[in-house]
Amino acid sequence: MLSDRDFFVLPPHEGMVDYVAVFGNANPVYIEIGSGKGEFISQYPTLYPDANFLGFEVREKRIRNILKKLDPSRNPNVRLMVELVDEGIRERLPAESVEGVFIQHPDPWPKRRHHRRRLIQPVFLEALAYILKKGGFVQISTDHAEYATWIEREFAQCPLFKPVFSETIQNSPHLENHVVTWFEEEQRRQGYEPQFMFYHKV
Ligand SMILES: C[S@@+](CC[C@H](N)C(=O)[O-])C[C@H]1O[C@@H](n2cnc3c(N)ncnc32)[C@H](O)[C@@H]1O
């Protein structure tokens, strides 16, 4: 039923993504990690037709949800990768090839014994810095106050990134055209405010 949209999903393969082969052009590339139900990846790229967007999502069911929101004529600059992002991202995307990284509401893994499953870890930040262009950005939002503090600390210990604001944790997004995701909306309804962090690769 969705076969006219199958091309959005990159077939599983090993090795580096070839952007020109995938998008048919050499426009700047942005990535989203954890695309969830697809609000960001279906809406934001429509505002930036001269850029390409790769959305990573590990759960197949979520990918099916995202595909329902994508439209071949409105979203020619979007592709999805069904995979778990970790420090192995440096074997998938070329060095210094990414302009910006969006991470909205990464799983907070609140239990202490699960903290090692958190996405934001020293080796992962090194890998992000590796794929980002100099001056490239990472924008993260979370409504989990303790994870926000964790993220702030991990970045502070990584000399490859600099926060854009001296007050690292902000209560509004730095970039224009913020897309409110399903998760953000749900959490707001329950009284949790998102917090935003914005970093540049040095
Ligand atoms: C809490 S949800 C947030 C989804 C969406 N960003 C939003 O704000 O509504 C986290 C999403 O990230 C996906 N995810 C978690 N860790 C991931 C990883 N390492 N790589 C790719 N996707 C991941 C999960 O499957 C889930 O869809």
**Angstrom distance (rounded) from CA 55 to CA 81:** 6
What whole-number distance in Å separates Cα of residue 22 and Cα of residue 48?
17
- Which structural domains are found in the chain, ordered by start? 29-201 (3.40.50.150)
Q: Is the pLDDT of residue 46 over 80?
A: yes
Q: What is the band of 2 on the pLDDT scale with cuts at 50, 70, 90?
A: low
Q: With bands split at pLDDT 50, 70 and 90, how would you rate the model's confidence at 85?
A: very high
Report residue 183's pLDDT band, with 50, 70 and 90 as the boundaries.
Answer: very high
Does the beta carbon of 194 lie inside 6 Å of ligand 1? no
Instruction: Give the end-to-end CA distance of the chain in Å, rounded to a whole number.
Output: 45
| pLDDT reported for residue 1 | 46
Angle formed at CA 158 by CA 154 and CA 162, multiple of 5 degrees: 100
Positions marked active-site:
107
- SS3 for 113? helix
Q: Indicate which atom in ligand 1 lies nearest the CA of residue 62.
A: 27
Instruction: Please choose from 39, 43, 57 the residue to mutate so as to test ligand 1's pocket, defined by most ligand atoms within 8 A of CB.
Output: 57
Beta pairing class for 161-163 and 52-56: unpaired
pLDDT at 66: 98
Interval 132-182: pLDDT, tens: 999 999 999 999 999 999 999 999 999 999 999 999 999 999 999 999 999
Q: Check pocket membership of 92 for ligand 1, CB cut-off 6 A.
A: no
Name the closest-CA residue to atom 4, ligand 1.
Answer: 36
Helix axis angle, 145-156 to 122-131, nearest 10°: 70
Give residue 141's Cα distance to chain centre: 10
Atom of ligand 1 nearest to the CA of 186: 9
Residue-wise pLDDT tens digits, 90-103: 999 999 999 999 99
Averaged pLDDT for residues 37-57: 98
Tell whether ligand 1 has an atom less than 6 A from the beta carbon of residue 184.
Answer: yes
Question: What's the CA-to-centroid distance between 60 and ligand 1, angstroms?
Answer: 12
